[in-house]
């Protein structure tokens, strides 16, 4: 198992909630401060994501995915001109959009989940994430699209066992989104976490994990991944931020 997969496997998230949410035309839904991590993708339509403390509103369109680590209140809206209403209030009063029609022709339909993460590894991961992770539909045209399509089908046309499938698909989307973000951010971000997404450093870490009792040195690690000692040392410092 590669180092990034090992880290993600240690997270063992438990789903608070997974499924679909439909926003009707001219609707704005507000959520309070939240723990855990939220991962949702837009199936159809478009909506605005607004997070407390961030000046710019983010437009999400069909195929986009967003991650929200633990943080302040946020709003999803099909219109920025209407006053947001608390999600709990709308759910209690049954005023949410109809998932069967995706919120209507001018509405927006999203699927995903809200997960609880705990432990040191979770803290390291969540601490490395920005307030909003926005993955545009062009980020991965195969894996994320497959997950999005299959999850939305289960939500819109529930069958026996759909609840479990939806939960597992939401978890799969979370892992795919985290991988895409870490791999993309590894080009410009520094730290151990992003080093796991770097192919050369990941290969070096895998080599050490395959034989933990071996007395590994900078020279032997460099040789095992086909790099010179100086090139490996320089690359390590650039990606991890320390020698």
Range 47-68 average pLDDT: 94
Tell me the pairing of strands 37-44 and 65-68.
Answer: antiparallel
Beta-carbon contacts of residue 193 (< 8 Å; ≥ 6 apart):
7, 124, 125, 128, 182
Is residue 16 predicted with pLDDT exceeding 70? yes
Domain boundaries, the chain: 3-186, 198-240
Is residue 185 predicted with pLDDT exceeding 70? no
Cα of first residue to Cα of last residue in the chain, in angstroms, is 25
The CATH class that applies to domain 198-240 reads: mainly alpha
What is residue 187's predicted lDDT score, i.e. its pLDDT? 60
Q: Could you tell me the two tokens for 227?
A: 């790099």
Range 34-61 average pLDDT: 93
Is residue 241 predicted with pLDDT exceeding 80? no
Write out pLDDT tens, residues 160-177. 999 999 999 998 888 888
Could you give the C-alpha distances from 34 to 14, 30, 68, in angstroms and in order?
Answer: 15, 12, 9
What is residue 188's predicted lDDT score, i.e. its pLDDT? 63
What is residue 243's predicted lDDT score, i.e. its pLDDT? 61
Summary mean pLDDT of the chain: 85
Write out pLDDT tens, residues 189-211. 677 677 777 788 888 888 887 88
Q: Print burial letters for 132-171: b (CB count within 10 Å at least 16), e (below 16).
A: bbebebebbeeebeebbebbbbbbbeeeeebeebbbebbb
Question: Which DSSP category does 103 fall into?
Answer: T
What is residue 75's predicted lDDT score, i.e. its pLDDT? 97
Q: Which CATH superfamily is domain 3-186 in?
A: Jelly Rolls (2.60.120.10)
């Amino acid at each position: 198992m590669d180092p990034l997969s090992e880290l993600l496997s240690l997270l063992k998230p438990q789903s608070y909630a997974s499924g679909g949410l439909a926003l009707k035309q001219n609707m704005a839904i507000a959520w309070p401060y939240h723990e855990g991590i939220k991962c949702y993708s837009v199936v159809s339509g478009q909506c605005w994501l607004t997070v407390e403390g961030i000046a710019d509103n983010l437009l999400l369109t069909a195929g986009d995915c967003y991650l929200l680590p633990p943080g302040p209140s946020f709003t999803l809206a099909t219109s920025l001109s209407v006053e947001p209403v608390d999600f709990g209030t709308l759910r209690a009063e049954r005023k949410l959009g109809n998932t069967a029609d995706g919120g209507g022709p001018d509405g927006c339909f999203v699927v995903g989940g809200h997960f609880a993460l705990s432990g040191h590894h979770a803290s390291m991961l969540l601490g490395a994430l920005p307030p909003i992770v926005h993955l545009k539909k062009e980020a991965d045209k195969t894996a994320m699209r497959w997950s999005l399509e299959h999850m939305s089908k289960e939500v819109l046309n529930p069958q026996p066992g759909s609840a479990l499938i939806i939960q597992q698909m939401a978890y799969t989307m979370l892992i795919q989104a985290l991988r895409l973000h870490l791999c993309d951010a590894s080009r410009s971000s520094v730290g151990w976490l992003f080093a796991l997404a770097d192919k050369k450093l990941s290969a070096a870490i895998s080599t050490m994990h395959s034989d933990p009792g071996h007395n590994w040195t900078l020279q032997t690690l460099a040789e095992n991944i086909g790099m010179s000692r100086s090139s490996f040392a320089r690359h390590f410092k650039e990606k991890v931020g320390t020698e």
